[in-house]
Structure 1
Amino acid sequence: MSRIVYVNGRWVPEEQAQVSVFDRGFLFADAIYEVTAVIDRKLIDYAGHLARLKRSLEALSIPLPFTDDELLGLHREIVARNELESGLIYLQISRGAADRDFLFAADMAPSIVMFTQKKNILENPKWKTGLTVKTMPEGRWMNRQIKTVQLLYSSMMKMEAERAGADDAFLVEDGYITEATSSNVHIVTKDRRLVTRHLSNALLHGITRASVLSLAKEVALQVEERAFTVLEACDAAEVFITSASAFVMPVVRVDDAVIADGRPGPISQKLLEIYIKDRMASAI
């Protein structure tokens, strides 16, 4: 059975889904997206994703053609239509279609696409083994706080890491880690401080990141928001990433440096546990 997807006001089988060849999302990557996790048919951290969606659209001057209630209704409907017990909902909004030109009209009608991916989010085997990563030079544009569909560089670096035998890449700018290819990066120092890069246009303002930092403070784990170097990560007691699909994922090797004893550490494991418990309790 094919997925049912939403395209500009219509629910259609994925084989029949069409977007104009003149859509600016295709021609210029002039589009944003959000990803919301689904567990037991409920939306995880939805309020945060909605708020970031609005910020991204506002930054690009793309109007949101739905009320909050209408957009929530679409998320719930796509879950129901696809009988999605566990997985992800992708929402993509482009500026719309027009003849190819760098300039665009202020009153364009946005294109909206939604689709699902079935995935057993609560059974991620990498939680037990952790990830290995390679460091790569940062090469993305300077407005990474906007969640755009401009993911080519991240995709290329992830492929490069895979060819090198690693699971992912850490992107490095001026000696400091900005992000992984699709997630925020955190370290735990040997004196038990959780260090994460401060929010700026250098990185995406992760929704899972914000939730995990809030929960860390609730369990009296000291949080320090600042940039950190590759050397600090290699020397850390723990390294982990956060994202909407992996939640809290340990990293056990950075380049040739094994992190601590090479196994997922207790703090990242605890944060994963309390994040899942807390967010499932507040899922909608």
Structure 2
Amino acid sequence: MSRTVWLNGTYMPEEKAQLPIFDRGLLFADAVYEGFGILDGQIIDFHYHMQRLNRSLAELEMRPTMSEGALYDGLMGLIARNGVEEAFLYLHVTRGAHDRDYLYPGGLSPNVFAFTQPLHGGLAADPPQPLRLASAPDIRWARRDIKTSNLLGQVLAKEIARKAGADEALMIAPDGTVTECGAMSFFIVRNGCIYARPLSRDILPGITRQTMLRVADDLGLKVVDATYTLDDVFRADEAFATGASSYVQPVPEVDGRQIGDGETGTVTTLLRREYLKAVRASFRNNRASLQ
């Protein structure tokens, strides 16, 4: 049985879904996207994802495609049709189709599609899977704060990591500071303090990152906004990464070098547990917040 996808407001089997070859998302990566976690059949942090999506659209001067309520209902319908309880949900919005030209005309109709797929980092009820990282140069375009489908830099970084026998890349800026993972936010812990790279155009404002930091604040954990180098990572007591499809995931090694004692740290364990509790508690507000 094939997976059901959602394309321009219509549910259909994945093999039936088609876009024109002149879609600007295909020709120019002129598109934005969001990746959501699905837990207990609900969308995690839907409202915050919509805030980021609308910001990405505005930065590229693309118009919103539909109301948040209609989008929420469409995505929840997709979840129900695929019968998923815990998964990853992908939403993609392109500027639309037009003959290949760097300049685009006004009035294009955006193409919108969504699909679900299995999680990459294991289920919430399972012990978190250790994530081994390998460093790679960060060669992405300068507006990393906009969540566009221009992901070739991440593809190349992840390929470096795969060839090194690692699970994910840890990207390093030209100045030697750590930016983030190929598809996740990254943090280190020293003396009980969480070190987080400050938000800027250099990194994506991760939604799981944002919620995790709110949870850390509620727990009274100290968060230090600071840039840091790979040497700082090697001196850390523990490290972890956050992402929509992996929640809070421990990082026991980078470039084959052990971080701390090589086990899941106490701060990481606490944050994963409390993060999952916090997002579950928020589900009852998802639809109500859209009224």
How do residues 100-179 of structure 1 correspond to structure 2 at under 5 angstroms?
Answer: 100-119=100-119, 121-123=123-125, 127-128=128-129, 130-173=130-173, 174-179=175-180
Aligned to 2:221: 221
Question: 1 CA distance for matches of 2:91 and 2:9?
Answer: 13
2:89 is matched with 89
Report the Cα distance in structure 2 between the residues aligned to 1:54 and 1:141, rounded to whole angstroms: 20
Unaligned 5+ runs, structure 2: 287-291
Q: List alignment gaps of at least 5 residues for structure 1.
A: none
Q: More displaced, 152-161 or 10-19?
A: 152-161
Matched residue type, 1:75: L
1:185 maps onto 2:162 in alignment? no
Aligned mates of 1:195, 1:9 — CA distance in 2: 42
Partner amino acid, structure 1, of 2:176: G
| CA–CA separation in structure 1 for the residues paired with 2:170 and 2:22 | 34
CA shift digits 1:115-147 (9 cap, x unpaired):
11144632556x25x221111111000000011
Q: Percent identity?
A: 38
Aligned partner of 2:46: which letter? Answer: Y
Q: Is the 8 A contact 1:8 1:113 kept in 2?
A: yes
Separation of aligned partners in 2, 1:91 and 1:227? 31
The code of the aligned residue for 1:121 comes to L
Residue 37 of structure 1 is matched in structure 2 by: 37
- 1:24 is aligned to 2:29: no
For residues 67 and 35 of structure 1, the distance between their equivalents in structure 2, rounded to whole angstroms, comes to: 18
Give the partner amino acid of 2:202.
A
Contact 1:39 1:121 in 2 (8 A): no
Number of the residue aligned with 1:262: 262
Question: Matches of 1:268 and 1:105 in 2, distance apart?
Answer: 48
Counterpart AA for 2:187? H
CA distance in 2, matches of 1:211, 1:268: 14
Q: CA RMSD in A?
A: 1.3
| Inter-partner Cα distance in structure 2 for 1:6 and 1:256 | 41
2:162 match: secondary structure: helix
Which residue number in structure 1 is paired with residue 274 of structure 2?
274
Partners of 1:226 and 1:110 in 2: how far apart? 38
Q: Give 3-state SS (helix, strand or coil) of 1:175's partner.
A: coil
1:10-40 per-position Cα deviation (integer Å, ceiling 9, x unaligned): 2211010000100000000010100111112
Give the whole-Å Cα distance in 1 for the aligned partners of 2:10 and 2:20: 14
- Structure 1 Cα separation of the partners of residues 178 and 268 of structure 2: 19
CA distance in 2, matches of 1:270, 1:86: 21
Contact between 2:96 and 2:111, CA under 8 Å: does it hold in 1?
Answer: yes
* Partner Cα distance (2:29, 2:126) in 1: 31
1:251/1:157 CA distance change after superposition, 3 Å? same
Contact 2:8 2:111 in 1 (8 A): yes
Letter paired with 1:11:
Y
User: Who is 1:71 aligned against?
Assistant: 71
Aligned length: 281
CA displacement at 1:78 relative to structure 2: 0.7
Q: Hey, what's the Cα distance between the residues in 2 that align with 1:135 and 1:118? A: 26
Contact kept in structure 2, 1:121 and 1:245, CA below 8 Å? no
Deviation of 1:162 (Å): 1.2
Counterpart CA distance in 2 for 1:187 and 1:176 is: 13
